Amino acid sequence: AGDVDCGVLTRASCPADEPDQIVDGRYRSSDFTSIDDVAGIVAPPLQYRNNTVEDMEVRTRGKRPNKKQRRSVLYIANDRNRTKAHSERASRLVRVVEDLDKASRPFIFLYIARPESILSKNGKSVIHISPALQAAFDAKGDHRPIMDIHETAVAYVRKQILSNKDIIAINSEVHQAQAEKHQVMNELHSLQEAHSHQLLAEQQRRQAVEAQLASLTQQLELNAYNI
């Protein structure tokens, strides 16, 4: 998963004015992974005829701008729907970043990867580093910032998986200990019941002997009285 060529990190074509090339193993232009799902539509920026305050007041007087309320976004539990939503929104984000990079040439570093698929050979990560930021990394002598980020994410996911396995193993041991405790308690309860039955039988036998002894004593007293 940590190898770019294994399919986790794939490259796609870049704009014509910024040719895609790798020199001495270093990224020299915008690098994106291919997004196979249908990309979302990005709304164009608003354009005004005149940006003066007076013109804005004239156009907006008497009515409020039609702004859609931003709805709260919740986690998508369904795997298929979550994958589709991730791909579509990542595609829209890529388009926005591309436009921003062309418009102002800022320092941009974009890295998107899903924890569910980052360890898979078929997993894909969305990556973009602007030429300006790449030049800054080159000047610093860091020629692999992308791989550093990716390897950090991969190591974290692997650690989480191991932690989950440890938790599962501990839970299994706890369940086994609880089962053994339950079995011991059942055996103890059975012994207590058997002991209780034994004590009851002993008590009943003693009462029977005492009753028999009392009867014999009474009979002897009657016989002695008759004589």
Nearest CA to 43 out of 92, 91, 98, 79 is that of 92
**Do 80 and 128 have their domain in common?**
yes
Residues 73 and 53 reside in one and the same domain: yes
Structural domains of the chain, count: 2
φ/ψ (deg, to 5) at 80: -65, -45
Are 14 and 87 found together in one domain?
Answer: yes
Same-domain pairing of 69 and 109: yes
Which of 114, 143, 172 lies at the terminal end of a domain, its last residue?
143
Are 125 and 208 in a shared domain?
A: no
Structural domain ending residue among the three candidates 87, 109, 143: 143
Whether residue 123 is found in the same domain as residue 159: no
* 139 and 57 belong to one structural domain: yes
d(CA 32, CA 96): 13
Q: How far apart are CA 208 and CA 66, in angstroms?
A: 99
| 110 and 211 co-located in one domain | no
Which residues constitute the domain of residue 41? Answer: 4-143
Per-residue pLDDT of the chain (227 residues; tens, 9 = 90+): 444 333 333 333 333 334 333 334 443 444 444 333 333 434 444 444 444 445 544 454 555 555 556 678 889 999 899 999 999 999 999 999 999 999 999 999 999 999 988 988 888 888 999 999 999 999 999 888 888 899 999 999 988 887 777 777 777 888 888 888 888 888 888 888 888 888 888 888 888 888 888 888 888 877 777 76
In this structure, the answer to whether residues 137 and 195 fall within a common structural domain is no
Q: Are residues 12 and 118 in the same domain?
A: yes
Q: Same structural domain for residues 8 and 80?
A: yes
Task: Give the pair of three-digit tokens for residue 89.
Answer: 């929104």
